Amino acid sequence: MRDLDALPKAHLHVHLESTVRPETLREIGAANGVAVPDPPSGERPFAGFRQFADHGTLVRDCLRRPEDFARVAAEFCADEAARGTRYAEVTFTAASHGERLGRPEMPLAAVLDGLAAGQAEHGIECGVILDHSRRRSVERAWATLGLARRFAADGVVAIGMAGDEAHPLAPFAEVIAAAADAGVHLVHHAGESSGAASIREAIGIGRAERLGHGIRVLDDPGLVAEVRDRAIPLEVCPSSNVALGLADSFAAHPLPALRAAGLAVTLNTDVPSVTGTTLTGEFTRVREVFGATDAELAGLARAGIDASFAPEPTKARLRGAAAAWLAAPAA
């Protein structure tokens, strides 16, 4: 079996606030005089989505100064590069932080500074996806789009709606249309906690180019065919789905069925500080639990590369590197 840390990977669904190292969070919290939440523990650390979201709020509240945001972004690059990620699109709730701190552009500008430093030091490439909770105001969604436009040249590649899928996308239709007209990519969470209807909404009103999670697509065979025929990739995060009670266990996760249906499946971590795993760890679990071959694992890596918003030269280079990994003799 080949070393999965050495497999060149693209990481497309990971929330920056859920990648903060525990020691970093403690140090930042102490510097800012903010209580730090206890680290999640166990396979299912939360009673439900609301408890998970509340934990995330406590983590975000620790981040207050430009150096806090820059540090966690630079450390994200270091940690990802150490596990073979060559390209990442990290999700960041920029407008929420800016509103909370009364400095609309500072958190994102600081994150981009940290990513620039981390990329230069660790040889990884990164883009940023700005997310917006469906529970929050349309005005903040417009602010998110404004930040995406303002910082597009600095690495912001997309915006997307996240959070509780029980809240519809319809109120954000004008923001979504404006983003599409401006050439901003659109990636929404859908088909995670809600069913096929949320996916139909995401690819209809939401104009989604990828689906964050999307595992409930299997509820509707007609939707499976549509998503497959339109080649809309899924950002699948098995360990996260188990941690939040959306799959009974890793072995019961629908990842094999999604791939068997011919869907474009990418593998991601979503919230690694909650699951305690890395992207390499996720690939390792797919190998161990589902018996995936190295060729199948390279195929998953290739799917992530293909689905990314990376420049074409980066995609070509990573495809070649993944092919070379598979061509090399196994240990």
Name the residues annotated as catalytic. 192
Q: 46: which strand partners?
A: none
Going by C-alpha positions, the residue among 83, 73, 117, 91 that lies closest to residue 8 is 83
Radius of gyration of the chain (CA): 19
Are 299 and 290 a contacting pair, CB within 8 Å? no
Q: 185: which strand partners?
A: 158
Residue 179, CA distances (Å) to 1, 83, 132, 193 in order: 44, 33, 13, 25
Are 33 and 291 a contacting pair, CB within 8 Å? no
End-to-end CA distance of the chain: 6
Structure-token pair, residue 149: 């436009």
The residue length of the chain stands at 331
